[in-house]
Amino acid sequence: MTSTVLVTGAAGFIGMHVSRALLAEGARVIGVDNLNDYYDPRLKHARLERLHATSPDFAFVRQDIADAAAVDALFRTHRPATVVHLAAQAGVRYALSRPFSYVDSNLQGSTAVLEACRHHDVRHLVFASSSSVYGGNHKVPFSERDPVDHPVSFYAATKRANELMAHSYAHLFGLPVTMLRYFTVYGPWGRPDMAIWKFTDALLRGAPLDVYAGGTLMRDFTFGEDAARATVALMHRPPTGAHAASPDAPTTWRADAPDRSWAPFEVYNVGRSDPVSVNTLLSLLESLTGRRAIRRALGMQPGDVERTFADTRKLQAALGQLPEVALADGLERFVRWFRDYHAL
């Protein structure tokens, strides 16, 4: 019998790649998205067209996950065995002016998904978190065992709240949950609000581009297809909660391993553990586009962090492999796709 996987945010960047990877495995995929206008919906429609062309086993439902009754009806109709919850209001700076859109999607919408998983016997919920939860941490690389109590953006605060909400459902209702802290995912079909898209667009148009903090900020870039492969591989490994006999057995909890829980709940960093500076990123893009950047120097922006750097030992132990596409190769593939998509 073909397994049914429900993917929220299926018209999004990671959602499209995860859906394609699932279809390649022979799964039946129910994609859900509200197709909002945070960025040009035409890109979202183009991703969906690609998914429909990939397999007849892909079905799409336009739905706002903040509508709890509609989400419950969706689960009741399709009975997914597994849910990959990627739908979220993204973006660090957008939250400065539109905080309630994060409440609607990331908090209310995620609660609706958790409730539907609880009531419809979902066997595993894979849930998108973000490297942003590490906030003001200075110790690198960022480990899943590190405290994440100081978010520096409202977006990060909502994703950390998602982790805590999901853990409570894992504990209270035995819902297996895997949280994925994605590190700056990029590549073909990526998001227009991300730096790589903005830089490539500005370079090809000969337009100025904004460079913050002298270009010294560092990011751990993860290729989209690599992130999707890791997501699907971890989907097949639902946590069991076997780290302790019960929540009443505190002797099994260790202060040096606070990420271990009695509940069926796990958190993984999804990154390459290979951060590079924005200056290096720009240099690579200049080489690939054959254009020279016209820089507009700006200071550190509210909600931004100096660096992200994934400790990927837990991911390596679970999967026996890590995201493999190097930044230079991934950027080459992105620029080639970008030119083709825009007919440049």
Taking the C-alpha atoms of residue 16 and residue 35, their distance in angstroms, rounded to an integer, is 13
Alpha-carbon distance values, 252 to 170, 241, 248, 267 (Å)? 18, 12, 10, 19
Question: Among 274, 177, 310, which residue's Cα sits nearest to residue 234?
Answer: 177
Structure tokens at 310: 């994934």
Distance of CA 92 to the CA centre of its chain: 13
Which token pair is 35?
């197709």
3-class SS of residue 196: helix
Catalytic site includes residue 94:
no
Which of the following is catalytic: 102, 155, 169, 268?
Answer: 155
Residue 320 gets the label, from left (phi > 0), alpha (psi -120 to 50) or beta, of left
Extract the runs of DSSP E, i.e. beta strands, from 156-233.
177-182, 185-186, 208-212, 218-219, 222-223
Residues designated catalytic: 155
